[in-house]
């Protein structure tokens, strides 16, 4: 799986765990709902680290917690 899909799937997972909608996450994080939707539905395949940090803050987790999963630990380096 590529990094984009891993990030997208992790956000979906955290939305489910926290019983949040995209709109609720947008309010909590200060990230526009359209930005979150663009990440989740493939229009934006390279979310910035600042955006991810704001999303994490909305989920009350750190960037470390976001990426501290087996899927990210086993991700291979992507080559151009």
pTM > 0.85: yes or no: yes
**Residues 66 and 56 sit within 8 Å (Cβ to Cβ):** yes
pLDDT tens by residue, 59-76: 999 999 999 998 888 766
Confidence at 78, pLDDT banded by 50, 70, 90: low
Burial of 71 (0-12, 13-18, 19+ CB in 10 A): middle
The first and second tokens of residue 64, run together, are: 């470390």
Residue with tokens 């984009």, as numbered in its chain: 4
Specify the CATH number of the domain 3-73. 1.10.260.40
N-to-C CA span, the chain: 15
């Amino acid at each position: 799986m590529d990094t984009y899909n891993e990030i997208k799937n992790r956000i979906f997972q955290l939305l489910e765990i926290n019983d949040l909608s995209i709109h609720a996450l947008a309010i909590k994080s200060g990230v526009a709902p359209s930005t979150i939707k663009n990440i989740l539905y493939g229009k934006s395949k390279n979310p910035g680290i600042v955006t991810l940090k704001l999303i994490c803050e909305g989920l009350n987790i750190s960037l470390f917690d976001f990426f501290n999963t087996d899927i990210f630990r086993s991700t291979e380096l992507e080559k151009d």
